[in-house]
Amino acid sequence: MLFMVQMQVNIPASLDKNIADALKKEEKEMSQKLQREGKWRDLWRVVGQYANVSIFNVSGNEELHQLLISLPLYPYMTVSVTPLTQHPSAIAQVE
C-alpha cells in the first residue's frame, strides 16, 4: 500500500546539540536504509521548513505505524498520513 506521509520536525532548542546531532545522523541512516529497501519510495523536503513529504510503500497500516514510531526523530515530529490509490487517469502504473 502507498501512503503519503507529511513530517514536521520540531526539535526543542533546549535539547543538547550533541544529542540532536546524533539523532539526525541515526535518522539519515535509517531513512536511507528504508529507501534502499523500497519502503520509503520518495523523500521531498518542504522548502523553508524542517519538514518533508514522503511516499511509503508498505504492506499496510501496522507496518507503516511501526516504521514511523521507530524513527529516531519521531518523538519530535508531527505526522500526517494519507493512504493513496492509483488514479484512473494515471499513465504510469503503481507497482
Domains located in the chain, CATH noted: 2-84 (3.30.70.1060)
Sorted by sequence, the CB contacts under 8 Å of residue 72 that are 6+ apart come out as 23, 24, 26, 27, 30
Q: Please state the pTM of the whole predicted model.
A: 0.91
* Chain segment 3-14, per-residue pLDDT in tens: 999 999 999 999
Question: Region 51-65: what's the mean pLDDT?
Answer: 98
Least confident of 29-38, 74-83, 84-93: 84-93
10 in Cβ contact with 73 (< 8 Å): no
58 in Cβ contact with 67 (< 8 Å): yes
* Helix, strand, coil share (%) of the chain residues, nearest 5: 35, 30, 35
Question: Region 85-89: what's the mean pLDDT?
Answer: 91
pLDDT at 95 over 70: no
Q: In this predicted structure, what is the pLDDT of residue 94?
A: 65
Distances (CA, A) of 20 to 1, 6, 12, 26, 55: 32, 21, 9, 10, 25
